[in-house]
Structures are given as structure tokens and as C-alpha cells.
Amino acid sequence: MPRIPAPWTVKRKILVKSESETDPSFGYKPEERPYPDLVRFGVINLDKPPGPSSHEVAAWVRRILGVKHAGHGGTLEA
Amino acid sequence: MTGVLPVALEDATKTIQVLLEAGKEYVCLMKLHSDVPEDRVREVLAEFQGKIYQRPPARASVKRRVRIRKVYYLDVLEIEGRNVLFRIGCQAGTYIRKICHDVGEVLGCGAHMQELRRTRSGPFTEDEKSVTLHDVVYLHSKWQETGELEYLRRFILPMEKTLEITPKIYVRDSAVDALCHGAHLTAPGVVSLEAGITNGSTVALFTLKGEAISLATATASTKEILEMNHGIVARNNRVLMPRGTYPRMWRSKTSSA
């Protein structure tokens, strides 16, 4: 059976079409987003504990942080 | 079950679809129902690499028809008697419980999944900045006490992390706000892009500062886009950046003043 490379092992080159610069007076580098944008556009790499369902865990995060929306990426069956 | 469960907040929940479709990695403890020579177990497990046929189990969230799933790798970590520990990298929607069952069928002895831990979901892995619920509670309260944003940044990553392995097209500042208003990306807006994009690829449109603007479908290949002077190169599916983040540098046809 031929091996299929995992998507996370694929390295892709970046090719330049035209030169351009970005104006620092608007927008932010993602890692420099101020509060509350850093929460609004944020994601948590959570290590799910055994027991509660993925859905329950997301609901806890929502409550702890006092945010309106929190959703998990892919059910990890309880 | 335990392991990597990315949780997206507020507007970042729009990126969840990317994770649902992303490949996963698990460490699985499989229990055989009788003694089987170790070599035979390794031989059978190796057969489950590549494209496999799988019928979703009875308790599944999808239609139960046989489908093809890709298994990128299946490496045996340890075999001790009837306990088999392995690491598997696979396409989204591959049922590991079912793989254990099917391995048992091929071996003729029966087998079941004893324990499962997810070690990767798309770009998220268990070692890089992964946090427990306890960490979340602690760091959040430290932030409330001190007002130090560093505590929040220790566990809340930018949503761009979710798109780390999604092919990207970088666009010039002047095209950003039009994209936020739902316009499609045209060739002059493109500054650079990743190799390997084809017509129909899901791509992420990014600013030159590395901010995600939207998720889109490419309508041309990397090579074609590099050569195009005009025309649509990607159609927006999901806008992530709020309008007005970048200045409006486009004129609408109706409101010419």
C-alpha cells in the first residue's frame, strides 16, 4: 500500500506575484492583538479531560471566560 | 477519551469547519481477545495504512455506508501480551474504534478499543501550548487579578493558528476591506501565494501582517494566478475579519460621488 503523506507534513513554498508593503497604522499582527480582540479572534488548544463530553467542555470554557460563543473543533467521544 | 480539543471563541468559531475537516492523530490502546503472535499483529496493522474501506459504526453521526478513509501512518508503539499500543494519523471521520474491531476480524480473534487519546487535530498538537481546563481557570483568574495580557496570551492563541496548514493567498492592503464586504479576490490584489493551490482548493486569504481575512475557494491554480493580470482568482466562502478593520479603498458602482 503506497503511503499517503499526512497534510501536516507537507511543506509549501510561498511564491511572490508582486511586491507590496503593509501600512502599520491599521490591523495587527495576530500575536499582538489587543484586548478584547485577542479573545474575539482566539482559539484554545485544550487538552480534554476524560469524562465530560466535548460539548460540555466547550460550555465550561464559555462560562469560565464569560464569552458568548465557544465551539469545539471535532467531537472527541466521551 | 482525552487529548487535543481545540476550542474557538466568539468570531473565531467561524474557523471551526476547517478543524472538522482536518486530519487527526491518535494514540490508541487496542485489546486483543486472544493471544496472537506479535509479528502477525504488526503485519495486519500495516495493512490498515493508505486508503481503507470503513463502514461507520452503529453509533455514528454520519450515514452508515462504506466509505474510503486515508490512513497516513499507523505505527506500533508497544505490544505486551494482548495489549497493543499504536499511533495513527488519519483523515477526518476515520473511526478508530472501528479500526480496532476490523483488525480483530482480520486476525480472527476479535479486538476492541480500550483507550484513545487524540494527539493532533489539524495544526494543533498536544505538546505545543496545549492547556488543561485547570490552566484555563488559573490563567484567566491571574489576568483578572493583574490585568496582564500575557496571562491571556499564554492560553488563547490567535485564530490564524487554526489555518496554519491551510494553503494561503496574501493580499495587498487596498484589497482587504472589499474582501471583508464579501467581494471575490481578483488577480491584482494578490501579493504572494503558496505553491500547490488548484482550481477548487480551499484557501485562506491573509493580510501582509499575517491576519486571516476569509476562507475562500480558489478558481485558478498557483501557476495560473501568478500569470493572471485580471479576473477572479478566489471566491469568498466565509469572511472572518470585520468590515472597517482596513480602510475602504474601493468605490461602489452605485454610490459614485
Percent of the residues in chain B that have a pLDDT greater than 70, as a whole number: 98
Q: A30: cis peptide before it, omega within 30°?
A: no
A69 occurs within a structural domain? yes
Amino acid (1-letter code) at residue B77: L
- The total number of structural domains in chain A stands at 1
Q: Using 50, 70 and 90 to split pLDDT, how confident is the model at B256?
A: very low
pLDDT for B254: 60
- B54-68, B102-116, B120-134: least confidently modelled range: B54-68
Whether A6 maps to a domain, the answer reads no
**A7 Cβ under 8 Å from any chain B Cβ:** yes
Selecting from 3.40.50.620, 1.10.10.10, 2.30.130.10, 3.40.630.30, what CATH number does the domain B166-239 have?
A: 2.30.130.10
Residue A42 lies inside a defined structural domain of this protein: yes
Flag if A2 and B50 touch (Cβ within 8 Å).
yes
Would the pTM count as exceeding 0.95? no
Beta-strand relationship, B111-121 and B2-9: parallel
Cell numbers representing residue B127 in the block: 505538546
Among B6, B207, B208, the residue with its CB nearest the CB of A43 is B6
ipTM of the complex: 0.94
Per the domain annotation, does A8 fall within a domain?
A: no
Question: In the predicted model, what is the mean pLDDT of residues B47-65?
Answer: 88
Architecture of domain B2-125: 2-Layer Sandwich (3.30)
Q: Where in chain B is the domain with CATH 2.30.130.10?
A: 166-239
Q: What is the DSSP string of chain A?
A: -PPPPPGGG----EEESS-----TTSS--GGGPPTTHHHHTEEEEEEEPSSS-HHHHHHHHHHHHT-S-EEESS----
- In the stretch 25-54 of chain A, residues with CB closer than 8 A to chain B read 26-31, 33-35, 38-50, 54
List the domain range (segments joined by +) for residue A35.
27-73
Q: Supply φ then ψ for residue B143, to 5 degrees.
A: -65, -40
Q: How far is A54 from chain B (nearest CA, A)?
A: 8
Q: Where in chain B is the domain with CATH 3.30.2350.10?
A: 2-125
- Smallest CA–CA distance, residue A23 to chain B, in Å, is 7
Residue A4 located in a structural domain = no
